[in-house]
A = this chain, B = another copy of it.
Amino acid sequence: MPQYRSPVDDTLFILNDVLGLQGRSNLSGFAEATPDVVEAVLREGAKLADEILAPVNQAGDREGCKRHPDGRVTTPPGFKAAYDAYAGGGWMGLSVPEEYGGQGLPQVLNIAIQDFANGANLALSMYPGLTQGAIAALLVHGSEEQKARYVPKMVEGTWTGTMNLTEPHCGTDLGLLRTKAVPRGDGSYAITGTKIFISAGEHDLSENIVHLVIARIEGAPAGTKGISLFLVPKVLVNEDGSLGARNGVTCGSIEHKMGIHGNATCVMNYDGATGWLVGEANRGLNAMFVMMNEARLAVGVQGLGQSEVAYQNAVAYAKDRLQGRALTGAKAPDKAADPIIVHPDVRRTLMQIRAFNEAARALVLWTALQGDILHRAEDTKERQAADDLMGLMTPVVKGVLTDRGFANAVEAQQMLGGHGYVEEWGMSQFVRDARIAMIYEGANGIQAMDLIGRKLPKDGGRAMMAFLGEIQGFLKEAGEDEAMAPFAKPLQVATGDLQQATMWLMQNAFADPDNAGAGATDYMHLLGLVALGYMWCRIARAAQARKAEGRDTARWEAKLVTGRFFMERTLPETALRLVRIKAGSQTTMALEAEAF
């Protein structure tokens, strides 16, 4: 059976040494996150992930969810108990304000726990993950009554949440939405329509499911300006908070998918179901965007999680499997053959994944920290700067971490040869599960368009200028440190590529917006590479400081070697991305559709 261990020590190092969590006590909730508390939270979260969630992952894939003729959906064996442990441990509300039953701790800690849980069991972690997204939307846009009535139960995990956007004819382009809401005159609406691809839309883990549904109020404007957000519980809630009658929403079928078999992907039929408006009428997309930004960061973390678990299992196999001899002479002469980890091509693969994972973890936590600053800082300027950086980096974390996370899972699978292709060994599941993260919450091409069309030009490019400024500041400081040269110099080069690409886009996208579109994905990856390279620089600086303390020297040496591998072999890809962007849209767009 595949194995998994949450990367607790690496996460602690990033939080404490790289991001300096302890210097952030100006942020509300951070003073409570003392070093002891942070470590205890991570170690407990790891226990949940490693001992409760991971062991039911493979059976979850094999058994999958089942829809019964009466519309009920049952989750795989062991999922209910594991979910109860998740909810019962208070994990759902880790960073939810205490007034709603949460613990008010930093969101960055919550994201660290999500990373652990995703690596352990993606399909299962989606149930609480979606619930957290729904909680976030309600906390920002819900009425006081909605918050009081629904959020505590969701924080407990007694009720779960979903988001309902997609319809058969309308995925990315929500303006085409048809689900309609008819006011009933008593403050409620009758919701009617069909939603598809609804993750966790129906299941047996919770007593109630709080669906957040976008729909068009009768007579609302066409397009995205006529979309409203509604709260539609599976079971209606009585005045006293107890459960009442079943609402008019049912699961029509579940999809047979490539992966995440343990999570029910539902067709949801709304047949005059009772719903309540969340936030203002016709402003539903804004409310949904809150949920989507949370969700996009979380999905990026899913990419990382699958990359990590696949890596761990590839390493275990590479140390164990005896095959061939090292090119430089036998390393285990007493055995029939050397373990395959001696082979440079195996090493290259493992180093590549590892070097990505460690930087990606830092990037995810760095981005989550911007979210904390945005929501918890006193200072307006500080909040705005964090908002800028988080907005800029959200599509990058989502797009790049899931693209690479999937590619890494594939590479890790390759290390097992034929065994990687056989389901028994678990690698195929990591690949199949990782695949969804590139698609949902806005396919990665959409992330690239969000980056280039919205985030980059916003406020005259303020976010990108701030990001480049932060890197330049770091490089200036690091420039005086000879030991940092193997990190700082490649980052300087890569940042130059990013600047050139940004300039080219500014000059050429105006004349022809297709020039931006044709380069969008390359630009997203270019920015992702620079961000990861920047993280490696910060990691290297922190590792050098720790190494100088003279303890655990091998650990810090390994960090620095891994970082140099990234700078030498992964980061130079920025040049290729720049070449592609500068190629423009001519050959991309030249053919008539009929020529395809």
Give me the interface of A with B, judged by CB distance under 8 Å: 166, 169-173, 175-176, 196-197, 255-259, 265, 315, 318-319, 322-324, 327-328, 336-337, 339, 341-351, 354, 406, 410, 413-414, 417-418, 420-424, 428, 431-432, 435-436, 438-440, 443-445, 448-449, 512-514, 516-518, 520-521, 554, 558, 561-562, 564-565, 568-569, 572-573, 575-576, 579-580, 583, 585, 587-593, 595-596
Q: Are A593 and B339 in contact (CB under 8 A)?
A: yes
Q: Given A176-B323, A579-B572, are A518 and B347 also a contact pair (CB < 8 Å)?
A: yes
Q: Are A176 and B337 in contact (CB under 8 A)?
A: yes
Can you sample 27 A-B contacts with CB below 8 Å?
A: A173-B322, A173-B323, A176-B322, A176-B323, A176-B336, A197-B418, A257-B421, A257-B422, A257-B423, A258-B421, A258-B428, A259-B421, A315-B596, A327-B514, A327-B517, A343-B445, A345-B517, A345-B520, A348-B588, A350-B596, A354-B596, A406-B410, A421-B436, A432-B432, A554-B595, A565-B588, A569-B583
Which residues from chain B contact A414 at a C-beta distance below 8 Å? 438-439, 443-445
Q: Are B568 and A587 in contact (CB under 8 A)?
A: yes
Q: Smallest CB-CB separation from A344: which chain B residue?
A: B517
Q: Are B169 and A322 in contact (CB under 8 A)?
A: yes
Assembled-state Cα–Cα distance A410/B436 (Å): 11
Q: Smallest CB-CB separation from A407: which chain B residue?
A: B407
Q: Given A414-B439, A564-B587, A583-B569, are A341 and B593 also a contact pair (CB < 8 Å)?
A: yes
* Chain B proximity of A428: nearest CB distance (Å): 4
Q: Smallest CB-CB separation from A486: which chain B residue?
A: B587
Assembled-state Cα–Cα distance A45/B130 (Å): 50
Q: Are B423 and A323 in contact (CB under 8 A)?
A: no
Most buried by B among A176, A343, A423: A343
* Chain B proximity of A343: nearest CB distance (Å): 6
Q: Smallest CB-CB separation from A171: which chain B residue?
A: B417
Which residues from chain B contact A521 at a C-beta distance below 8 Å? 345, 348
**Of B318, B410, B440, the contact of A596 (CB 8 Å cutoff):** B318
**Of B169, B171, B175, B323, the contact of A170 (CB 8 Å cutoff):** B323
Assembled-state Cα–Cα distance A436/B572 (Å): 30
Assembled-state Cα–Cα distance A487/B516 (Å): 25
